[in-house]
Structure 1
Amino acid sequence: MKINVQILFLLLLISCNPKKEFISNKIDTLIDKKSAIPFNGVILINKGEENVYCKSLGYSNFEAKTEFNSESQFVIGSISKQFTAVLVLQEFDKGNLELDVPIKKYLPELTQQWANKVTVRHLLTHMHGIIGLNEETKFEPGTQYEYSQIGFDLLAKIVEKTSKKSFADISFDLFQKCKMFNTFHPDLKKHKNLVFGYTLNDNEKLEIERRTFENYVAAGGFISTANDLLQWNKLLYNGKLLSDKTFKLFVTKQNGAIRNHPLFGKTDYGLGITVDTKDDIIQYGQTGFTPGFVSVNFYYPKTKTSLIVLQNVVENSNDLNKSFGYITKIHTLLRKEIK
């Protein structure tokens, strides 16, 4: 039986998926290079229902030479802020809180003057100016932007008041509902596969990091996996976690909420998430850094693509460009393909 050559050639083109091969080869070349600090972690790129790229390299425990698996858990740094923001906005959807009233309404124990001016929206957009609980604000709330961790700790306290549950428990309930069974608030002590975090010391030796959980959990201390973050993206960006109206608020650039990001330059914020529209590419998400761990979770709604990278080695805590070197290069490769 003769086969139509044109049809066969078309079938080969479909099966090869040259775009998929292009980015896979490019990333392989990047992470397989001989380097003083080789890539160590997990990369997951998903488009729709297909994992375009999925690979792990290195060790979850260098001393025991333990390799990663699908349930390897990482501390995800500021990616945690998405979880906190959604918990806040779910309380908003329930009518349990308002975005534009002073937080004194929810935290009456605060005696500071700024509690009568700072709102939930200010906390979500880093426009509150709080630098310490017992200090005056750095600027008039709502007039400037300054990236903050303490604001998200206050958001966690507000959610505790409005939900009448601990922040650890309400976040656990959310993750169970989302079927994110490997994602936890660290205080619950339910994680079983947390990888070791490492930092390169002054002698260029990897040391186990002991300061990982010094940050506020609501701002940067949640534990998760690549697969769970992918599940989060699919639910969040397909309207399963927030009402349509609230989701639109979540991903709308807020007036004045503009950060000079150390990696990406001018960056706009929605309500607890970055909103990037450079080069006509819509990108939502967050990078994450905490001692011993660097990470990213970006989502591109037009192509339904997720970029998730989790690393447990920090090259230089004082130089984010070095520590995020692999992530920024992978990010650039993916954006080129999307464009």
Structure 2
Amino acid sequence: MRLSVISTLLTGLLLLPSACSYGLLFAADSGLAEGAQGGNSIVVESQIASSASKTAEIKSLIQAAIKDSPQPFSGSVILLERGKPLLELQKGEGISKDSRFVMASLSKQITATLILQAVDAGKLDLTQTLNHYLFGVAKGDNKALQGAVAGTNSSANALNPSRYDERITLHQLLTHTSGVDKLGKANRFEPGSQFEYSNFGYSLLGQVLEKVNHQSFAEQVAQFATRYQLKGLSAELGSIAAIHAKVPSLAVGLQESEVIAPSDLVLDEALLPAGGLIASAPTYAAFQDLLHAGKLMSAESYQRMTTAHTEIQFLWPNMHYGYGVRINQDDGLVEYSHTGYLTGYMSMTLHYPEFNLDLVMLENLSLNLNDRARVFELHNQIRQIIRSQLLLAKASNV
């Protein structure tokens, strides 16, 4: 982090309001103002003013981090509290609020949501095997699907060139613990025994959705976007140049190597569920707001999605994985997140349920993977800025 950013951050941390006022940093203040009388009204007005000041401070810290970043940045950033924008920032040639981006692995949250909606509809059982849905009799309108339960087949680990490992379940695919390999190949490890990030596993979940819903994955995404009024969300196929000709709001992806040049990314059916969906930052933020407000699935399914099912190794310490979401609870601050990287695009999303605070960051410039710490340096800075402020807010409320 540059000295100017560090200086700004330290200044923000030193100029703290009173413990009483800091507790209102992200709280709705209209009800408090209405209930205040006499001398109390002065206190409440002071608290509200301090809250607004601290919100502005968080915004300025993020803006400074992006402005002073030693690496190039092109993209769109939105910070929201209770679904309302606090900061909307765009930077880069041709980038506007309506610009759309390939979301990379943020697509997995959409796929996981569609899977859980199918569970709520009785079409899927998360403990059922992958092979049952891909190769068995799996009718989408049958709410009592029957089949071999994972692990009960005595020859489950026998290699079959026309089937995946018989022990793999939908739960394991969602949590990247399946160890699945290409059809006919031996599993990479015993299903459920460890975590290994798998784009292929999420591609298979897309195939499962196509089987039970009798529609292409792209069609399902289009219906999902229409149903929930997510106008900037879509699933497109082809080269970025071809898609841009059809969707002019798509920001053309740029890849940093020796020089910065347009990426050669091609979106196909296999990539869509794992990383190929397209959205604008406000649209993805609207999806995230609906998701965490409990409007996209049952309470039971949302609980499954946000449960820490397995520990993972990641750039950020003490991370776990749910269904399409990374989970961290360091210092008592619950954080749901994900990041993404494809040739020409990078992304990050953060959600803090205690404060109902969200950040969505979509970029059309992917940095050179020769230095992974540099690639995600700005993501790390922004995450730490937000976490530091929220932890201070929690401490002042003790």
TM-score normalised according to structure 1 size:
0.88
Q: Which residue of 2 aligns with 1:208?
A: 262
Cα distance in 2 for partners of 1:307, 1:212 equals 27
Say if 1:157 and 1:51 are closer, same or farther in 2 by CA, change over 3 A: same
Could you tell me the percent identity over the aligned residues? 27
Cα distance in 2 for partners of 1:243, 1:10 equals 38
Structure 1 counterpart of 2:359, which letter? L
- Structure 1 range deviating more: 105-114 or 326-335: 105-114
| Structural mapping, 1:147-296, within 5 Å | 147-187=197-237, 191-202=247-258, 205-211=259-265, 213=267, 216-254=271-309, 257-261=310-314, 263-296=315-348
Structure 1 counterpart of 2:286, which letter? Q
| C-alpha RMSD of matched pairs (Å) | 2.3
Is 1:300 aligned to 2:327, yes or no? no
Cα distance in 2 for partners of 1:42, 1:120 equals 33
CA-to-partner distance for each residue in 1:178-234, whole Å, 9 max, x for gaps? 1111111113966331101112222xx211111253771111111011101111011
Say if 1:200 and 1:246 are closer, same or farther in 2 by CA, change over 3 A: same
The question of whether the paired residues in 1 share the 8 Å contact of 2:76 and 2:97 is answered with no
- Of residues 109, 128, 132 in structure 2, which corresponds to 1:82? 109
The question of whether the paired residues in 2 share the 8 Å contact of 1:182 and 1:191 is answered with no
Cα distance in 2 for partners of 1:161, 1:6 equals 61
- Of residues 87, 101, 105 in structure 2, which corresponds to 1:53? 87
Cα distance in 1 for partners of 2:40, 2:130 equals 67
CA-to-partner distance for each residue in 1:4-59, whole Å, 9 max, x for gaps? 99977974663461211221222222222274x33221111101143222211122
Say if 1:213 and 1:266 are closer, same or farther in 2 by CA, change over 3 A: farther
Structure 2 counterpart of 1:80, which letter? S
CA-to-partner distance for each residue in 1:237-275, whole Å, 9 max, x for gaps? 111111111111111111xx22211x2134211122212
Cα distance in 1 for partners of 2:332, 2:118 equals 33
- Structure 1 range deviating more: 142-151 or 105-114: 105-114
| Structural mapping, 1:93-172, within 5 Å | 93-108=120-135, 112=162, 114-172=164-222
The question of whether the paired residues in 1 share the 8 Å contact of 2:255 and 2:344 is answered with yes
CA-to-partner distance for each residue in 1:160-181, whole Å, 9 max, x for gaps? 1111111110111111111111
Cα distance in 2 for partners of 1:211, 1:230 equals 24
Deviation (angstroms), 1:102: 1.4
Structure 2 counterpart of 1:193, which letter? S
Deviation (angstroms), 1:311: 1.4
Say if 1:6 and 1:142 are closer, same or farther in 2 by CA, change over 3 A: closer
Cα distance in 1 for partners of 2:214, 2:370 equals 39
The question of whether the paired residues in 2 share the 8 Å contact of 1:253 and 1:268 is answered with yes
- Structure 1 range deviating more: 277-286 or 15-24: 15-24
Deviation (angstroms), 1:319: 2.9
Cα distance in 2 for partners of 1:43, 1:104 equals 40
Deviation (angstroms), 1:73: 0.3
State the SS of the aligned residue for 2:384: helix
- Of residues 19, 37, 44 in structure 1, which corresponds to 2:54? 19
State the SS of the aligned residue for 2:76: strand
Is 1:33 aligned to 2:68, yes or no? yes
Q: Which residue of 2 aligns with 1:323?
A: 375
Query: Alignment length, in residue pairs?
Result: 323
- Structure 1 range deviating more: 117-126 or 21-30: 21-30
Deviation (angstroms), 1:137: 0.6
- For the pair shown, which has the larger CA radius of gyration, 1 or 2? 2
- Structure 1 range deviating more: 15-24 or 96-105: 15-24
Structure 1 counterpart of 2:250, which letter? L
Structure 2 counterpart of 1:270, which letter? G
The question of whether the paired residues in 1 share the 8 Å contact of 2:308 and 2:322 is answered with yes
The question of whether the paired residues in 1 share the 8 Å contact of 2:177 and 2:195 is answered with yes
The question of whether the paired residues in 2 share the 8 Å contact of 1:39 and 1:326 is answered with no
CA-to-partner distance for each residue in 1:97-155, whole Å, 9 max, x for gaps? 11112111111178545442111111101111113223111111111111001101110
TM-score normalised according to structure 2 size:
0.76
Unaligned runs of 5+ in 1: 60-65
